[in-house]
Amino acid sequence: MPATNSADGTALVAGLTESQLHELYYALVRVRAAEERLELLHKQGHIGGGVYRSLGQEAGSVGAAYALDRRSDGTGDIIAQTVRACGALFLMGGEPLDFFRQYLARATGPTGGKEANVHWVDYRRGLVGPVSPLGTMVGVMAGITLSFRLKQEPRVGLVFAGDGATSTGAWHEGLNFAAVQRCPMVLMVEANQWAFSTPTRKNTRLESFTQKAAGYGLHAESVDGTDVLDVYEGTKRAVDRARAGEGAGMVEMRYYRLKGHAQHDNQEYVDPAELKAWEERDPIKRFGERLLSEGWATQKTLGALKARAEVEVSIAAEQAVGEPIPDGVQALDAVYTDRGAKTPWTRLETPDPIQA
Amino acid sequence: MGGKPDSVTKTERREPVTLLEAISEGLFEEMERDERVFLMGEDIGVYGGAFKVTRGFLDHFGEERVIDTPISEGGFTGAAAGAAHMGLRPVVEMQFMDFISPAYDVITNYIATSLYRGSGPLPLVIRGPVGGGNRGGPFHSQNVEMAFFHTPGLKIVYPSTAYDAKGLVKAAIRDDNPVIIEEHKGLYRAPFLREVLPEDDYIVPLGKANVVREGSGLTVVTYGMMVHRSVEAAEVLHQEDGFEVEVLDLRTLSPLDDEAIVESVKKTGRLLVVHEDTRTGGIAGEIAMRVSEKAFEWLDAPMLRVTAIDAPVPYAGALEDYFLPQIEDIVTAARYLAAY
């Protein structure tokens, strides 16, 4: 073992011990393994809806969530995840099994097949299910973190949203509200340079989204989204400030969406040379090389972590595939707390419009 | 903290209250009863709200429970949803309901779907003034119910009396679902609505219509300001024609009280829906379809409606009066149906 061995708990870098660095690596390879498995399930025809990858962005979501106080009893920090923040979802305690159940629309999943992909909630673990217009989530997280301030709970909320959301009115209104109310919220801008097929330069004339922060009186910083430690440290600074009562902040993660918006998008609008250049900055490759070169891990350890992640993911995927889909009639349930939707009269045993 | 504002102690003092004061009392009492209830909106704190519904609340409850927001209906309604997820029970005020449109996204996509998509119930109230007749023009006069009626997951109430307003506000705050409350500006301070309310902690249950005048010849289904015009029309018909009109005040628009509507139509055999909202896509269409499904055999005449015209709300008095349904319209329609 190298001289910098921190099996005794000594911090090696960014205040993290060797076992924490390994935990980060595990989180990275797990999310990639899960998404690769997802693609396979899609090719096999198991998934009816869209399949979204966070390829190239894993370090952003993993590094950000690692900076949080993660608990499973509803007293820790909270995130509003996105499909590109799957790594954060898992780190917060979201189960790969539930991830597959969601994509496979299983009755056993957290939404029983009513919602898709990473759109699920677990308030105990600090997960807020997003809706597809992601700018909307900024206001929602502003309210969640407002409640932390009002109740004097030392909790922080991260809301993830990408380039596209920054152009919406909801993003502006939510961010301004959070700034004015000094909500302990950190906006994680997933600056992956694309909003579906629209490049950043068509979403803003600014060089960096952090320049927008000044307009709200927010502290902001930009981090290298392909470097898990840089994301971790930048997020931690923002989270610490928010927890200390200094109000909302923004962290811009600069990286690149290496896949299309979803499986159906073949990225024909992307410059192949640009794509190739960013592929060279693969966050997992980078972190793995760093761990090896600094002597913080051996090839054997990294191989074992990857193998463990693949096994975990594989077990989860296989279990989810074998589970039942919901009964159609469950579509009637839970429209209100005190009533569902009515059965269409044409589907009654004796069709009768008076029962409509 | 300041003491109770005078505007919310009239019932205690056994004095009559206006519909507006009834709403204030309802909000105030719920905030006293349940510390999770808090208010957000534009100019509701220091100023006390554009119509002074929350006058004195800031002094009494403090700025953590009476929050003046930036002009950002989408932002603070989203924040209400987030706070409700965390166990609070927010009540947001739209300064005028016409301005709810920036929050349409968060209300329909986020709030209304929350329970269904497994994000938990959202006990929150969105309330504010609606309605015409005050020369408010196109942006201070609208009725917004049908923009939300179509969205499953939302409840909508629209009180017409002080008693109902207070009871519905309290029921809405206690409900675990998102509730939109429309408050007619023309009824806020209408002297004829002043009444002494019960001192007890009553609610008016959501989803229950109310027969405000009994009759056997025709059912008028209505709500809000038009309840009062319909009752006046019914009086004219009684006096001049000896024709007895039943007036049903919906009070809650979503969920609709099908049972009450059908029961009345089965009794009278005739249906007229009267609403201040514009005609096309108004609630009359939905009510007529439900009666067609459930009571077609009992009908003796076509189902008809009296509504505002399909236009933005005009400013000039002459135009607005023409735009809005008048008592004479209701009388004319009722006579047409009586003679059918």
Q: ipTM for the complex?
A: 0.92
* Residue A8 binned pLDDT confidence (cut-offs 50, 70, 90): low
Q: What is the pLDDT of residues A78-123, one digit of tens each?
A: 999 999 999 999 999 999 999 999 999 999 999 999 999 999 999 9
Q: Do B293 and A353 touch (CB under 8 A)?
A: yes
Tell me, what amino acid is at A69? D
A296 and A184 both lie in a single domain: yes
Instruction: Say if A171 falls within a structural domain.
Output: yes
Q: Are A139 and B84 inside 8 Å of each other by CB?
A: no
Residues A319 and A352 in one domain: no
Rounded percentage of chain B residues whose pLDDT exceeds 90? 99
pLDDT, one tens digit per residue, over A134-171 is 999 999 999 999 999 999 999 999 999 999 999 999 99
Query: What's the gap in Å between the CA of A342 and the closest CA on chain B?
Result: 11
Confidence (pLDDT) at A3 = 42
- Separation between Cα atoms, residue A31 and residue A9, nearest integer Å: 26
Å from A351 to nearest chain B CA?
Answer: 12
A122: chain B residues, CB-CB within 8 Å: none
Position A6 in a domain: no
Judgement on whether residues A320 and A336 belong to the same structural domain of the protein:
no
Q: φ, ψ for residue A269 (rounded to 5)?
A: -85, 0
Chain A contact for B118, CB < 8 A? yes
DSSP A28-54: HHHHHHHHHHHHHHHHTT---S-----
Domain assignments of chain B as residue spans, ordered by start: 6-193, 210-338
Give CA–CA dist B106/B113, Å, rounded.
10
User: What domain range is A321 assigned to?
Assistant: 18-325
Question: Do residue B88 and residue A147 have CB atoms under 8 angstroms apart?
Answer: yes
CA-wise closest residue to B115 among B74, B84, B90: B84
**One of B60, B140, B228, B275 is an active-site residue; which one?**
B140
A335 with A201, same domain? Answer: no
With contact defined as beta carbons under 8 Å apart, do B180 and B147 qualify?
no
* B259 close contact with A: CB closer than 8 A: no
**What's the pLDDT score for residue B110?**
98
Q: From residue A304, give the alpha-carbon distance in Å to each of A30, A297, A309, A310, A317.
A: 12, 11, 9, 10, 20
Whether residues A129 and B118 touch (CB distance < 8 A) is answered with: yes
Residue A356: the pLDDT is 80
**Residue B32 distance to chain A (closest CA, Å):** 17
Residue ranges of chain B whose pLDDT lies below 70: 1
User: Which residue type does A152 have?
Assistant: Q
Residue A117 lies in a domain: yes
Task: State residue B254 phi and psi, 5-degree precision.
Answer: -140, 115
- Do A319 and A347 share a structural domain? no
Q: What angle do CA B80, A153, A110 make, to 5 degrees?
A: 60
Contact A131 B109 (CB under 8 A): yes
Question: Rounded to an integer, what distance in angstroms lies between the CA atom of residue B174 and that of residue B197?
Answer: 20
The CATH fold assigned to B6-193 is: Rossmann fold (3.40.50)
Sign of CA dihedral A259, A264, A268, A270: negative
What does B192-226 look like in DSSP terms, one character per residue?
Answer: GG-BPPPSS-----TT--EEEE--SSEEEEE-THH
A137 with A200, same domain: the answer is yes
Q: What's the number of domains chain A is made of?
A: 2
What's the CATH number of domain B210-338, 3.30.160.270, 3.40.50.920, 3.40.50.2300, 2.30.30.100? Answer: 3.40.50.920
Find, among A253, A244, A170, the residue nearest to A210 by Cα. A253
Cβ distance of A139 and B38 shorter than 8 Å: no
Range list of H helices, chain A: 18-43, 58-66, 86-91, 96-103, 136-150, 169-180, 210-214, 228-243, 272-279, 283-293, 299-321
Nearest CA in chain A to B68: A181
The rounded distance, in Å, linking the Cα atoms of A108 and A117 is: 14
Among this protein's residues, is B228 annotated catalytic? no
Q: Among A119, A141, A146, which would you mutate to test the B interface (most chain B Cβ atoms within 10 Å of its Cβ)? A: A146
- Residue range A218-264, pLDDT digits in tens: 999 999 999 999 999 999 999 999 999 999 999 999 999 999 999 99
Q: Phi/psi zone of residue B245: left (φ > 0), alpha (ψ -120 to 50 degrees), beta?
A: beta
Residues of B in contact with A131 (CB under 8 A): 109-110, 113
Chain A neighbors of B106, CB-CB under 8 A: 136, 139-140, 170
SS3 state at A223: strand
Give me the total of CB pairs closer than 8 Å, taking one residue from chain A and one from chain B: 148
Domain shared by A226 and A170, yes or no: yes
Residues A209 and A341 in one domain: no
A144 contacts on B by Cβ (under 8 Å): 82-83, 85-86
> A5: pLDDT confidence band, cut at 50, 70 and 90?
very low
Q: What is the DSSP letter of A190?
A: E
Asked if the domains B6-193 and B210-338 are classified in one and the same CATH topology, the answer is yes
Phi, psi for residue B218 in degrees, rounded to 5: -160, 140
Tell me the two tokens of residue A61.
């979501």
Mean pLDDT of chain B: 97
Q: What is the pLDDT of residues B73-87, one digit of tens each?
A: 999 999 999 999 999
Whether the CA torsion A12, A13, A17, A22 is positive or negative: it is: negative
Report the CATH number that the domain containing residue A280 is assigned in CATH: 3.40.50.970
Per-residue confidence (pLDDT) for residue A355, from 0 to 100:
86
CB within 8 Å: B117 and A129? yes
Tell me how close the Cα of B58 comes to any Cα of chain A, in angstroms.
15
Contact assignment for A334 to B115 by CB distance below 8 Å: yes
- The pLDDT-based confidence of A185 (bands split at 50, 70, 90) is very high
CA A178 to chain centre: 21
Instruction: Clarify whether residues A177 and A276 are in a common domain.
Output: yes
Closest CA to B124 of B110, B141, B140: B110
- Inform me whether the C-beta atom of residue B26 falls under 8 Å from chain A C-beta atoms: no
Q: What is the rounded average pLDDT for all residues in chain A?
A: 96
Task: Please determine, for residue A201, whether its predicted confidence score (pLDDT) is greater than 50.
Answer: yes
Count of CB atoms situated within 10 Å of the CB of B271: 29
- Kindly tell me the number of DSSP H helices and DSSP E strands found in chain B: 12, 12
Nearest-CA distance B184 → chain A (Å):
26
Listed residue (B54, B52, B151, B160) closest to B100, CA to CA: B151
